[in-house]
A = this chain, B = another copy of it.
Amino acid sequence: MKNYSISRLAKLFDLSRSTLLYYDRIGLLPATKRSGSGYRLYTESDRERLERICLYREAGLSLNDIDLLLKNGDTLGNAVLEERLRAIGRQILALKDQQRMIVAMLKIKCDGTVAVADKALWISMMRAAGMDESGMKKWHAEFERQAPEAHYELLRLLGIEEAEAQAIKAWSTESR
């Protein structure tokens, strides 16, 4: 059975040495053994534990919650995961509020006109807001219905050319 040195194990998961030192300190992943000269020796089961830790970290769980998950069974585990799911939902909603606030601020600063610098920014924002093709279409249609003039102006401001703007107008109103 092979042992991993701290840096080798770190590299396996693309972590830093100090991360593993930290996990050791807080007891999340203590090195099972030590060499004669006091070097940490990680075993295969340490590696497996770290693999789970990394997975849960990618899911955004706190190290504390991960510790709980690894200690306890599925009953508590599911509860922890579900709570994290709820927290993510709350976070996303909060971030969307922030998006709206910032867009409003950008509008205000340039008295009446939207001043988002580039199309890519706007689109990535809409994408992030959960907009897929059909959502985009609905949004453009709604904008067109409520304020066709401003809609057109926005398209121009986003750097969308005349031709493309016409196409979007057509597309967003076609089968309705």
Interface stretch among A40-48, A95-103, A158-166?
A95-103
Q: Indicate how many identical chains form the complex.
A: 2
Q: How far is the CB of A11 from chain B (nearest CB, A)?
A: 23
Secondary structure class of chain A's binding surface, majority of residues: helix
On chain B, the residues within 8 Å of A82 by CB distance are 106, 116-117, 121
A125 within 8 A of B: yes
- Whether A102 touches B59, Cβ cut-off 8 Å, given contacts A85-B121, A89-B128, is yes
Going nearest first, the 7 A-B pairs with the smallest beta carbon separation are A130-B130, A89-B128, A92-B128, A60-B98, A59-B101, A89-B124, A59-B98
**A interface residue numbers (CB < 8 A to B):** 55, 58-60, 74, 77-78, 81-82, 84-86, 88-93, 95-99, 101-103, 105-106, 109-110, 115-117, 121, 124-125, 127-132, 134-135, 138
